[in-house]
Amino acid sequence: MYRALTRDIEVTVEPYYLEEQSDPDDSRYVWGYRIVISNHSDIAVRLVTRYWNITDETGQVDEVNGPGVIGEQPVLNPGDTYEYSSGCPLDTPSGVMFGHYGMEAESGEMFDVNIPAFSLDAPGLSRVLN
């Protein structure tokens, strides 16, 4: 589990490999990830935008920007949580993702909430650390 806390908004991520959707012989590796956003602040916030940086093991970067998540722009009141799942294909057996959500406070102030960097690693992948 990966966690980040920005202005009392907590984002947790749990990635998992989707073997049934992956085909290593065709250089297709697919992961799902579950995200939970928890509002520990004392103000309501709305998730307006998302930004993802997805980098595969060769350093190839794919950036994704857009409104909301999975077609929604949820409002989180103090104490609320919002959970969703999505996925990411790569051409390599490992990579990393990170990003941020653009949030709007009740006052109209816009601010970014960090999504923690998380590793995407196919099962059985041997790692050599230098």
Place of tokens 């490999």: 17
The model scores a pTM over 0.85: yes
- What is the Cα–Cα distance from 30 to 52, expressed in whole angstroms? 16
Which domains are present in the chain?
2-121 (2.60.40.1470)
> According to the model, what pLDDT value does residue 130 have?
46
Nearest alpha-carbon partner for 23 in 127, 96, 126, 122: 122
Structure confidence by residue, pLDDT tens digits, 19-64: 999 999 999 999 999 999 999 999 999 999 999 999 999 999 999 9
Mean pLDDT, residues 107-118: 97
8 pLDDT tier (thresholds 50, 70, 90): very high
Place of tokens 């307006």: 48
